[in-house]
Structure 1
Amino acid sequence: MRSSATALFWTAISVGNYVCTLLVSLGHKYSAKLDGSNWLLDNNLNKGKLELFYWLITGSQVVNLLYYICCAKLYTYKPIQTLTKDAESEKGASKV
Structure 2
Amino acid sequence: MRTAWILLVVAALLELVWATALKQSHGLTRPWPTAIGLAVALVSVVVLSVSLRELPVGTAYAVWVGLGSVGVAVAGILALGESASPGRLACMALILAGVVGLRAVEG
When Rg is computed on C-alpha atoms for both structures, the one with the higher figure is 1
TM above 0.5, yes or no, is no
The interval holding the TM-score normalised by the smaller chain is 0.3 to 0.5
